[in-house]
Amino acid sequence: MNLSDLKPWRTGAVMALLTLLSCRAGAAAEAAGDMVIPPATYPALMSHAPTPEAFVPEGWRMESQVSGDLNADRQADIVLVLRQNAPGNIVDARGRGGPERFDTNPRILAVAVAAAGGGYDLVAENHTLIGRTTEPSQQDPLDPDGVQAGGIEIVRGTLRVTLGYFGGAMGHRTLTFRLRNQQLLLIGYDSIHVERSRGSLDQVSINYLTRRMKRTTGTISSDAETVTHSAVQSRRLLAIDEVGDGLAFERAR
């Protein structure tokens, strides 16, 4: 017998029972110290805005902003990091060794170029490169005051996004993008990774335009190092939305 064949009162009873079990499961998780993190939701940004602030949707805030020429037209373009400002995304993480108020609000990386008639035209709206902070034992990847500081900048016509991490290992990754045909394409990757328990150091620098990689290995306790150069088997340049989480990116693909 299908659920749709049941009498209305029985259907209501089944749904009430399922709701009760779900509530009890949530309560049990909270009692056990597990964090309950709401799913992320992302609004669509305006395609054109007169000012950088006009791109910020309701319920979000401007976390950081940089400006510079990304398309070689001698006009100042903008890169924005927007962060949701929802109280429900600030959770109690004490059961996981974190603070009582742990901010898990997601971010949007937005890039807009100066329009000929004034204002800015949106060219990129990315939800994944800057991963959502959901683990209280790890550093926020964009924390400017973290052990491995993160941030965004425009350097010589390119966008550079640096993501830091600190835990069992520490380091940072910088992904460099160039705007081409209204697409942000990954052209460079640089990383420093330190295994804290062993003190080993691994530094990588990749140029996806020349398809060359330089790798330097050593230890933090010695000046001795080994440097190798190799080719990168990358068939094409990846758009920013193809990269995914910048800290989980597979560098040599």
238 DSSP assignment: P
In a domain, 81, yes or no: yes
How many structural domains are present in the chain? 1
Whether residue 9 has pLDDT greater than 70: no
Structural domain that includes position 20: 3-26+39-248
- Yes or no: say if 82 and 107 are a contact pair by the CB < 8 Å rule: yes
Cβ atoms 94, 108 nearer than 8 A:
no
For residue 97, tell me if it sits in a domain: yes
32 within domain boundaries: no
Residue type for position 216? T
Q: Residue 33: inside a domain, yes or no?
A: no
Say if residue 14's pLDDT is above 80: no
Residue 31 pLDDT grade (very low, low, confident, very high; cuts 50, 70, 90): very low
pLDDT tens string 122-177? 999 999 999 999 999 889 999 988 888 899 999 999 999 999 999 889 999 999 99
**Higher pLDDT among residues 197 and 66, named by residue:** 66
Task: Give me the pLDDT at residue 112, please.
Answer: 98
Q: Which secondary-structure segment (H or E) carries 14?
A: helix 8-31
- Give bridge partners of residue 213 from the DSSP assignment: 206, 230
Query: Does residue 58 lie within any of the structural domains?
Result: yes
Whether 155 is covered by a domain: the verdict is yes
> Three-state DSSP class for 210?
coil
pTM here is 0.83
Distance CA 158, CA 239 (A): 14
Q: What pLDDT, on a 0 to 100 scale, did the predictor assign at position 96? A: 85
Residue 25 three-state SS:
helix
13 inside domain: yes
Residues 36-77 pLDDT 10s: 899 999 999 999 999 999 999 999 999 999 999 999 999 999
Please report whether residue 34 resides in a domain: no
| Token pair in block for residue 158 | 């390119």
- Strands 158-166, 169-180: pairing is antiparallel
Closest by CA position to 169, among listed 139, 149, 143:
139
Q: If residue 193 lies in a helix (H) or strand (E), which one and from where to where?
A: strand 183-195
